[in-house]
């Protein structure tokens, strides 16, 4: 697997890099989700060769048009070593092409195990070096400290699961402590504090520790006293397009934070237009215009 250095200025914080990418290319993040059905629909084989062809076509469509690519790690893991080889390749290729990469691996553990995960995904010189990683705080937010430390060390970012779009998530995320504060609210506040601690020269840029907040559930934040604008956290919003949320849903749900903090992920809505390159690029441009 490749371990070449990324082309980006790695000493610049993830928050600053993300803000620049959004200013240049807009708030669309394309989800690189090689779901079995997508590969079949594209006429590709269910193996590493099909996976590699899929990734090459998506990367060609994204380069120069969007600022962020989010590979869903599970769809690469299912092919074993060969699938992870393709993931390593495409992440390095994407970063060399100027895209930021968010590895959607949802890692969560304690102590040295969490540190191992974080080093694997956030070291820019590693096989799976990404700009940011999705993480789960449900062993307690403090369990993420090794990942926060790795993000600081490597100038990377984290997106912490906070208010996800799956209905069963609300059983945990909207549970309240004796003071009436929801779990999601506690996570948001802790992320804001962790992000602020990483900013050395606050010029109003985005933080490097963000939240995952579903496009269809963002409206629950205001209903439950969760301040998504606090700390200028980047907010990764899956659920746009094929999963049911439109641009107005996003604007209404995120309110004032939508304009500068929200990065909107679209996977099936874009990938469903493939494999034709023109159709993929047209879908990207239409989504960018729709999201504003």
pLDDT band (50, 70, 90) for residue 167: confident
Taking residues 184-207, what's their average pLDDT? 87
Count CA atoms closer than 13 A to 125's CA, side-chain side.
Answer: 4
pLDDT band (50, 70, 90) for residue 51: very high
Query: In this model, does residue 7 exceed pLDDT 50?
Result: no
Q: What is the pLDDT of residue 202?
A: 63
User: Is residue 68 a contact partner of residue 237, using CB atoms and an 8 Å limit?
Assistant: no
pLDDT band (50, 70, 90) for residue 200: low
Domain 18-291 fold: TIM Barrel (3.20.20)
Q: What is the pLDDT of residue 6?
A: 46
Domain ranges of the chain: 18-291
What gap in Å lies between CA 79 and CA 11, rounded to an integer?
Answer: 34
Q: Which one of 20, 65, 82, 106 is the catalytic residue?
A: 106
Q: What is the pLDDT of residue 245?
A: 87
Catalytic residue list contains 288: no
Alpha carbon separation from 208 to 68, 104, 150, 156, 279 (Å, rounded): 15, 16, 12, 7, 33
Work out the percent of the chain whose per-residue pLDDT is above 70.
95
What pTM was computed for the model?
A: 0.94
168 C-beta neighbours (distance < 10 Å), count: 8
Taking residues 244-272, what's their average pLDDT? 93
Taking residues 161-186, what's their average pLDDT? 92
Q: Which residues lie closer than 8 Å to 37 by C-beta, 6 or more apart? A: none
Least confident stretch, 71-75, 152-156, 216-220, 264-268: 216-220
What gap in Å lies between CA 57 and CA 76, rounded to an integer?
Answer: 16
């Amino acid at each position: 697997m490749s371990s070449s250095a990324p082309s980006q200025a790695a000493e610049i914080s993830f928050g600053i890099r993300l803000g620049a990418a959004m200013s240049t290319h807009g708030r669309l993040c394309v989800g690189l989700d090689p779901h079995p059905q997508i590969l079949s629909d594209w006429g590709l084989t269910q193996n590493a060769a099909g996976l590699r062809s899929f990734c090459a076509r998506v990367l060609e469509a994204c380069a120069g048009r969007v600022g962020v690519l989010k590979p869903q790690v599970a769809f690469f893991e299912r092919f074993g070593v060969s699938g992870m080889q393709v993931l390593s390749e495409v992440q390095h290729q994407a970063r060399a092409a100027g895209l930021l990469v968010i590895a959607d691996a949802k890692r969560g553990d304690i102590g040295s195990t969490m540190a191992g995960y974080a080093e694997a995904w956030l070291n820019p010189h590693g096989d799976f070096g990404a700009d940011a990683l999705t993480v789960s705080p449900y062993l307690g937010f403090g369990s993420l400290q090794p990942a926060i430390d790795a993000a600081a060390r490597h100038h990377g970012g984290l997106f912490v699961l906070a208010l996800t779009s799956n209905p069963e998530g609300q059983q945990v995320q909207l549970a309240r402590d004796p003071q009436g504060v929801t779990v999601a609210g506690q996570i948001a506040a802790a992320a804001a504090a962790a992000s602020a601690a990483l900013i050395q020269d606050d010029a109003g840029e985005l933080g490097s520790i963000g939240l995952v907040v579903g496009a269809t559930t963002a409206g629950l934040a205001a209903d439950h006293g969760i301040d998504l604008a606090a700390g200028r956290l980047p907010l990764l919003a899956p659920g746009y397009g094929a999963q049911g949320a439109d641009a107005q849903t996003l604007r209404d749900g995120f309110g004032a934070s939508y304009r500068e903090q929200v990065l909107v992920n679209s996977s099936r809505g874009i990938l469903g237009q493939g494999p034709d390159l023109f159709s993929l690029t047209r879908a990207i441009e239409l989504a960018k215009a729709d999201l504003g």
